[in-house]
Structures are given as C-alpha cells and as structure tokens.
Chain A
C-alpha cells in the first residue's frame, strides 16, 4: 500500500470519527434523566429533597407554625401578641418539631374551621414532596389541593383575611397552591419551569428573609 493510500485510509477513519455512530453533543445527552434512574436504584433511601420540595417545606413550616401558634394562643390567657411557635423541620428523617421561629400573631384565636383548614393545608404540603418524587401527584391529592386553594381564596376574601399576619400567610399559601395545582397539567420539563416560578414568586415575597428574621428574633429571645 502506498503512502498516499495509507493517508487516504486514515482520512476515511477520520471521517468515521465524525459520522460513525456519532454521539449527540453533551448538552443533548439525557444525563439528568439517566441520573434519576441511577439515583432511584443506587440511593433508594437517601433521596434528597429537591429545591422545590424545600420551598414547599418552608411554606408548610409557615402553615404549621401559625396553626400551632393559633392553638397555643387560644389556650393562653393574657399572652403578648408575639407567640413562639414550633416549625417542623421536615428535612430530617424524624420530622421532630423544633421551635425555631417567632411569628407575630394576632390577639384573637382563629375559628375552628380556619384552624382545621390550616392543618389540612400543612398535611397536604408535607405530603407533596413524596407525592412528586414518586411521580405525578395522584388525582385525590390534586383534588384536595384544588379544594384548599378555593378555601384559601375564600378566607382571603373573608373576615380572616383582614388579619395582616394571616393574610400574608394566606397570600403565600395561595401562591404555592396555585403552583401545585398547575403541576397536574405540566410535563416534567415544564414542571421544572413551574418550580422556578415558585422560587421566584417566593423570593419576591421575601418568605425566606421573613423566616430568618423570625428565627433570629427567637435566638435573641432565648
């Protein structure tokens, strides 16, 4: 074989490097999807909460905190208008209630229906991460989310909505529930976008700074 022939054969191999079973660009590889499957099999018990789930937990913590605060307030006599509340850290495996925040509360207790509603909302939001990690939330779950969203809006329009602390909470809760309800209709990719929107919206409403402020107030109070 001549040198020219040899070069030509190498040229053919170079061409094969560009054309034979040519892999897609890295950006087009389904690496995230593959990871999800790997993770589910290799780390079944250690599934970390997504950023989205963490936001929802924050919302859930707010709901639980205020709910418990209301209950304690209803039994307290002559307490100040600031009540220490328990915020459940659902990121831990045991989900032990830990008092971490102080949330300003109004003097008068909530009516039983509103307290019940807050408890139901908390239960739904706490269950959401496991629902979404197992796949799309099921129909009863979404139905419940829709009902709670409706109740939230009714409360916002009612007397309860005149309480500034509760109104703020209901606003935040409405925002989260709207996103939850939307998840039903979204495919995975769009769902990710929705999660970004939740984050943006909660950012704009300063939920985290409010929590941090409350937490630091508690620490100082301790």
Chain B
C-alpha cells in the first residue's frame, strides 16, 4: 500500500539535545528552530485528526506551548518528535471530547476528487463518491484509539514503532488496534461490498 510517508525520523536533522538545552536557557531562536523542525508534521496530524483548519491551528499552538513549558521534563528517553506527537495526540483527544459536537463534514469531496483523481493511477479504479463519503463517516465513527492509530498508520504513514511510542503502548497493541479499526471499517462498508468487489 502506498502511503504518505511522514516518518518521525525525518525530522531529526538538527542537534536536538543542544537545541533543547538552548531553549531551556531561554533562547527564543532555538525555540523557533525546534518549532520549524516539527510544526508541519504536528499541524498535519492535528488536521487529520480534526478535519478543521482552525482547530488544527489551535491544537498545534497548544501542543508547542505545552511542550515548551514542560521541556524541562523531557528526559530524552524517546526522541523529541515522539514526545511532541504524544502531546499532540493528547491535546487533540482531550479537546475533541469537549468539541465533540461533530459537525457535518463540509469537505468538498468533488473538488478533492478532481484535484487528486483516484482513477487512472496505476490502474486504480475510480472511487465512488458515495463510497468515499461512507468511508469517511466510518473513520469518524471509529473509537478514538482505533481512529488515531488508523489515521497515523494508513493515512500519514507512521510506523507501528512510531505510533507505539507516541501512544505509549506496545507495538503489538498498536497492530491489533489497526487490525480492529480496519475490521470495523470493512463492516461499516459491508453494504458497499458488491461495489468494491465488482
């Protein structure tokens, strides 16, 4: 399966322990450097999890504010990227519980479809918009732990090791959650089985 690869390791271009030490000493520029190295992926993940630009922005901000305030607690046992993604997932999960007035999906799927046609790529068949909509709703309806795992793995390309680090679970747990998430999606799309069997 081709996935959008945004592995956590790709962010480790700078000497982060040194950067972190500088941030702890109050160096704002080091803070910006650390932010630049991780903010795009944090924003992406927040956006994937919320589907809302304003919320993604708010949660990205909250993630980094918390991270900088608690930076002294970061011991370096895990990579900084793992740590900051863990904060992101926590921030989003907590906030979304409150936000939870799950709005109707407003994504203009037609536009997305025309911008990124699914047909004609490596022989892939065109995805029925109804089926796509149904899948989106099924992903929305997944239990949060399954949904986060599925989004990180299948949509954002994180590895099981990375997800396990971010969520603080064993890799095996991560794999079984992904498996359960997919099973639920298949079940939700059972009505469309003929569609994607044809």
Contact = CB atoms under 8 A, between A and B. Distances in A.
Interface in B29-51: 29, 31-32, 35-36, 39-40, 43-44, 47-51
Given A12-B135, A34-B61, A23 B47 contact: yes
Contacts of B44: 23
Interface stretch (B8-16, B82-90, B108-116, B168-176): B108-116
A31 B39 contact: yes
Given A42-B64, A42-B68, A43-B31, A20 B155 contact: yes
Q: What DSSP secondary structure best describes chain B's contact surface?
A: helix
B53 interface: yes
Contact of A30 (B1, B29, B57): B57
B161 interface: no
Interface string B70-96: 000000000000000000000000000
B118 A15 contact: yes
Interface string B142-159: 000000000100111000
Contacts of B31: 38-39, 42-43
A204 interface: no
Contacts of B107: 19, 21-22
Contacts of B125: 8, 11
B124 A31 contact: no
Interface in A1-43: 1-2, 4-5, 8-24, 26, 29-31, 33-35, 37-39, 41-43
B39 A11 contact: no
A20 B139 contact: yes
Given A14-B124, A23-B44, A38 B61 contact: yes
Interface string A158-188: 0000000000000000000000000000000
A12 B131 contact: yes
A38 B64 contact: yes
A192 interface: no
Contacts of A31: 36, 39-40, 43
A5 B151 CA distance: 21
Contacts of A48: 28-29
A11 B186 CA distance: 13
Nearest to B113: A19
B7 interface: no
A128 to B, nearest CB: 20
Nearest to B2: A14
B61 A26 contact: no
A95 interface: no
A47 interface: yes
Given A11-B125, A34-B57, A29 B43 contact: yes
A37 B65 CA distance: 9
6 contacts: A11-B127, A12-B132, A17-B154, A29-B40, A42-B31, A48-B28
Given A17-B154, A23-B43, 12 more contacts: A1-B186, A2-B197, A9-B189, A16-B136, A16-B154, A19-B109, A20-B48, A20-B155, A34-B60, A38-B64, A46-B27, A48-B29
Interface of A: 1-2, 4-5, 8-24, 26, 29-31, 33-35, 37-39, 41-43, 46-48
